[in-house]
Structures are given as structure tokens and as C-alpha cells.
Amino acid sequence: MTRVLAEIESQPELWSCSAALAAERRELLPQPAQRVAFFGCGTSLYVAEAVAAAREAAGQGESDAFAASEMPLGRRYDLAVAISRSGTTTEVLGLVDRLRRSVPVLALTADAQGPLARAADRTLALPFADEEAVVQTRFATCVVALLRAAIGHDLTTAVNDARRALGEEMPGWCADVSQLVFLGRGWSVGLAREAALKVREAAQAWSEAYPAMEYRHGPISVAHERTVVWSLAELPRGLSDEIGQTGATLVRPAGDPLAELVRIQRVAVAMAQARGLDPDRPAHLTRSVVLSGDAVEH
Ligand code: F1P
């Protein structure tokens, strides 16, 4: 079995550990009514987007998400939350440094002793969710599970839906799909973006992601018979007919959006294998992006 597949399969159990950790370390996490900025890179950016949207929708306080390279300085937040599996990503460490003395930083990372943990004001480590694979799966979903539990989501359905997803047959279109489009609404938009990234990283395949209502506003123009449109949330009225008219295949959500991401991770691995690729060796990607020198070429 590939490393990434073993890590994908461990997720439902680890989400329960994440929920328990959220309850134990409640005082470290964002408190109700605080203004909070979440940031990260790559997968961790999409986790930031998902949890910020979920937190604000739950009435827990204004929540923003930024790529670590693009967060505006000078905004007023009560807490900044740095998300990084490795704890070594250059842009994340650079932003923590720039935020020093203006806002407290909480690190969510797999490595309790690493550079991010040392730089942040406080750390909540998830060592049980660390991964060997380059392609992130369980660290990302465990951070989502942790923060969902902290804002009052009951994860029972997500855990059960994910267990069911792990036993599913792969769809027949895996071998010859040419474009995958993921749609989300609310907090599942971030998960849709993460789903598209998984397909690019693991299977080197063309994938995109949009808020569902945005799909009509241009992106649908490129849909064709070998497009698969996969929605992580209920579709807006009329969109399924419009997708059907393009000849694309529509996949509807089977349950909780986080469990839906598990279904997609497995499909990304199956697509890689159908293309003769090793999902444990994604092209042009390292486990953590560590840059040296100036960020901009002169
Ligand atoms: C962030 C990240 C991953 C990506 C790859 C390179 O890592 O961009 O999302 O898949 O592994 O690093 P991290 O900051 O969460 O360790």
C-alpha cells in the first residue's frame, strides 16, 4: 500500500483524537467573539479558508484566511493562527516574524519542537496526525476536525461517513477523466480547493475549484464529456441541469463535506495509479517548501 493511502485510511479514528484534543486544550484555541486570522500555504491555506468560514458561520466571531505570503499587516486581530504540518514553511515563518508584538500567534503543527512551534507565542501540536507522505491528507483534515469540534460541530456523522467512504469502489471514470471540477458552498469552498490541489499533486491532472454559484460565471464554458463536476455541498437550483447539458458527469455529495474530501483523496490516488504514477512521488513537490534568499527575483 502507498504511504498516502495508509494515511488516508487512518483519518476517521484520528478525527476523534482531534476532537478530544480540542476539548482538552480549549484555552489555547480561538475564543468566541475574537477576531481571528488563519494563515498557511498550499493545503494549509485551504484548511485556513475552510475553518475561517466555518467559525464565522457558527457565530464564533469574524474570521479571515490568508496565504502566508499575502496577509496584509496592520489589520487588527485578537489572534493569528498559523497552520503548517512541517512547521518549516518559509512564508509561514516569515509572517510569524512580521506579526511579532502586534498579535499573538497560535501554531497548529505536527512538530511540537520545530521552528514554527519555537517562533509562535503558543502551540497546539498534533503529532498523531503527522505524515510521511509528501501529499498531505490527514494532518489537514485533523486540523479541520479540531477546529470544527472547537466551534461546536458534532463530528459523529463525519467520522461515520468517512468510514463508509473508505470501503467504496472507485468510480469507472477514474481512468479517463480529463478535467475535474470541485464545487463548494460556505466552509466547503476551502475543502473544494484542497480537493483540486490533491488531484493536481497526486495525479498530475487538470482540476479546478469554485464556490458553486460561481461555476456558471465562466468556468462551465470549458466543461465537456470527459469533465467530472464533483460537488461537496448541495447544488444550487438549476445547476445540475446546466452541468448535464455540457455532457459532464456530476457527482453529488454522499455526506459530510470532510468525509467527501476523503472520497476525493482516494480517487486522486486511484487516478495517479491509472496514469502509471506513484502518488508517493508527486512531481516537482517537496514535503515542505523551504526558500533561501530574497523572495523576489531581481
Ligand atoms: C505546505 C505545503 C503543502 C504541499 C507540499 C508543500 O506545507 O505547501 O501544502 O502539499 O507538501 O508544502 P506545511 O506548511 O503545511 O508543512
The pLDDT confidence band at residue 296, using thresholds 50, 70 and 90, is low
Q: Which protein residue has the closest C-alpha to ligand 1 atom 6? A: 288
Q: Which SS3 state, helix, strand or coil, does residue 229 take?
A: strand
Q: Which residues, listed in sequence order, are joined to residue 207 by a DSSP beta bridge?
A: 180
Q: Which protein residue has the closest C-alpha to ligand 1 atom 8? A: 42
Grid cell digits, residue 158: 463525519
221 alpha carbon – ligand 1 mean position (Å): 31
CA dihedral 281, 112, 28, 192 (to 10 degrees): 0
Q: Which protein residue has the closest C-alpha to ligand 1 atom 4? A: 42
Mean pLDDT over the full length of the chain: 97
Per-residue pLDDT at 297 exceeds 80:
no
Predicted pLDDT at 101: 87
Atom of ligand 1 nearest to the CA of 87: 16
Q: Which SS3 state, helix, strand or coil, does residue 173 take?
A: helix
* Spatial distance between the Cα atoms of 63 and 57, rounded to a whole number of angstroms: 9
- pLDDT of 74-118, one tens digit each? 999 999 999 999 999 999 999 999 999 899 999 999 999 999 999
Per-residue pLDDT at 298 exceeds 70:
no
CB contact set of 55 (below 8 Å; sequence gap of 6+): 30, 36, 61, 63, 147, 151
**Which class for 289: exposed (0-12), middle (13-18), buried (19 or more C-beta within 10 A)?**
middle
87 alpha carbon – ligand 1 mean position (Å): 9
- pLDDT of 266-285, one tens digit each? 999 999 999 999 999 999 99
Predicted pLDDT at 294: 74
* Spatial distance between the Cα atoms of 127 and 112, rounded to a whole number of angstroms: 7
Identify which of 3, 38, 81, 86 to mutate to test ligand 1's pocket (most ligand atoms within 8 A of the CB): 86
Q: Which protein residue has the closest C-alpha to ligand 1 atom 14? A: 84
What is the enclosing helix (H) or strand (E) of 230? strand 227-231
Predicted pLDDT at 60: 98
Q: How many CB atoms lie within 10 A of CB 135?
A: 26
* Spatial distance between the Cα atoms of 135 and 279, rounded to a whole number of angstroms: 8
Flag whether the pTM goes above 0.85. Answer: yes
- pLDDT of 28-74, one tens digit each? 999 999 999 999 999 999 999 999 999 999 999 999 999 999 999 99
Contact assessment for residue 142 and residue 108, using Cβ atoms and an 8 Å cutoff: no
- pLDDT of 243-254, one tens digit each? 999 999 999 999
CB contact set of 124 (below 8 Å; sequence gap of 6+): 21, 25, 28, 29, 106, 107, 108, 146
The 3 state secondary structure assigned to 51-83 is HHHHHHHCCCCCEEEEECCCCCCCCCCCEEEEE
Output the ligand 1 site: residues, CB below 6 A.
Answer: 40-44, 84-86, 89, 92, 134, 136, 201, 285, 287-289
Q: How many distinct helices (H) and strands (E) make up the chain?
A: 10, 9
Kindly list the strands in the beta sheet with 179-184, ordered across the sheet, starting from the edge strand earlier in the chain.
206-211, 179-184, 227-231, 249-251
Mean pLDDT calculated for residue range 153-167: 98
249 alpha carbon – ligand 1 mean position (Å): 30
